[in-house]
């Protein structure tokens, strides 16, 4: 297979695969939450309730796609697309297995951070364009939360870059053949995980859409498929952060016995299940507590990890 055809096949496979996984996660989350909370979950529509996702999709397509007359219509329509586009573009640099991936960028990690930063525009624009107080408050909360935790996310990955000596995600995976970075970078992994939860606005950090306070937050005025795009975009974000955790800290596709693609999928699936378990186990903090956690705990931990990693590498270099 020549290079252009192989590239097209990889692009189509990654695009279809990520969207399929995101849709499947809707069913998986409901089943796992039901299991952990000792109830049934989806079980009526199709075997094991698998067709519940199809029923939800039909419902979203059939609903009236209403645009409030008081909204800024152009921005209101474009905002949901931004979160999906940035998430899908981020998957372009994720190395799934040897020879499988859209592109190998020498600055792949920086590209991922850039796309995650652009994702905040979707939430902010949706809150502003809705011309609703609840939506605007949700958008303001999201912007402060996501921009703050992006700082800690970037700092937490500095240790990984120092150990691997590159921003290329495929070379970062190869650098973990002898030892996964989750061991020497345990502190960085913790900070990145917490920042990833805040970036995807998942429980317990779903304060931009807290129902008890803001009705539905930044997407309060959305309906039909525009709401569905926010919904799918959130699951794309969960899948992306899980894939990046596996790539940066758990050796990517590396592992014995099983094929490389199976190892990557298995590790990512475990991370996704952990994200879902958090929703069933942890309460939501107050917004001021969330921001305090970031600047008073996450920032010092990220800087400590950076200093310790740099000191160890400097001492190791001076001995050699």
What is the number of domains present in the chain?
1
Q: Minimal CA–CA distance to 233: which of 118, 66, 99, 104?
A: 118
Establish if 33 belongs to a structural domain: no
User: How far apart, in whole angstroms, are the C-alpha atoms of residue 262 and residue 248?
Assistant: 17
Cα–Cα distances in angstroms (integers) from residue 126 to residues 203, 217, 249, in the given order: 20, 10, 33
Q: Minimal CA–CA distance to 306: which of 179, 115, 152, 112?
A: 152
Establish if 25 belongs to a structural domain: no
pLDDT of residue 2: 66
Instruction: List, for the chain, all residue ranges whose pLDDT scores fall below the cut of 50.
Output: none
Establish if 20 belongs to a structural domain: no
Assigned token pair, 37: 């909370």
Establish if 254 belongs to a structural domain: yes
Assigned token pair, 80: 């949901």
Overall pTM > 0.75: yes
Establish if 35 belongs to a structural domain: no
Establish if 99 belongs to a structural domain: yes
pLDDT of residue 210: 67
* Helix residue ranges per DSSP H, the chain: 3-36, 52-62, 73-91, 108-129, 133-156, 158-164, 169-174, 186-199, 211-214, 224-249, 260-281, 287-292, 299-319
Domain membership of residue 195 as a residue range: 67-319
pLDDT of residue 134: 81
User: How far apart, in whole angstroms, are the C-alpha atoms of residue 222 and residue 91?
Assistant: 26
Q: Are 80 and 229 in contact (CB under 8 A)?
A: yes
């Amino acid at each position: 297979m020549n290079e252009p055809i192989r590239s097209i096949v990889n692009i189509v496979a990654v695009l279809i695969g990520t969207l399929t996984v995101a849709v499947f996660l809707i069913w998986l989350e409901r089943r796992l939450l039901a299991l952990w909370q000792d109830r049934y979950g989806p079980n009526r529509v199709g075997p094991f309730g698998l067709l519940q996702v199809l029923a939800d999709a039909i419902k979203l397509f059939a609903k009236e796609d209403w645009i409030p007359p008081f909204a800024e219509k152009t921005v209101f329509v474009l905002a949901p697309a931004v979160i999906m586009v940035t998430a899908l573009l981020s998957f372009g640099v994720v190395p799934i297995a040897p020879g499988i991936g859209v592109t190998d960028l020498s600055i792949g990690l920086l590209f991922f951070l850039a796309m995650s930063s652009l994702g905040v525009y979707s939430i902010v624009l949706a809150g502003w364009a809705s011309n609703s107080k609840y939506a605007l408050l949700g958008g303001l909360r999201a912007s402060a939360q996501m921009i703050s935790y992006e700082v800690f996310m970037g700092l937490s990955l500095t240790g990984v870059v120092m150990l691997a000596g590159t921003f290329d995600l495929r070379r970062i995976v190869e650098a973990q053949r002898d030892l996964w970075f989750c061991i020497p970078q345990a502190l960085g992994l913790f900070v990145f995980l917490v920042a990833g939860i805040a970036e995807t606005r998942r429980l317990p950090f779903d304060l931009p859409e807290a129902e008890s306070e803001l009705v539905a937050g930044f997407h309060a005025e959305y309906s039909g498929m525009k709401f569905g795009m926010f919904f799918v975009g959130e699951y794309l974000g969960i899948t992306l952060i899980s894939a990046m955790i596996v790539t940066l800290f758990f050796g990517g596709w590396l592992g014995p016995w099983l094929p490389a693609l199976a190892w990557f999928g298995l590790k990512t699936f475990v991370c996704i299940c952990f994200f879902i378990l958090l929703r069933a186990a942890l309460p939501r903090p107050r917004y001021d507590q969330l921001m305090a956690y970031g600047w008073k705990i996450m920032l010092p931990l990220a800087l400590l990890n950076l200093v310790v990693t740099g000191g160890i590498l400097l001492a190791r270099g001076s001995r050699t």
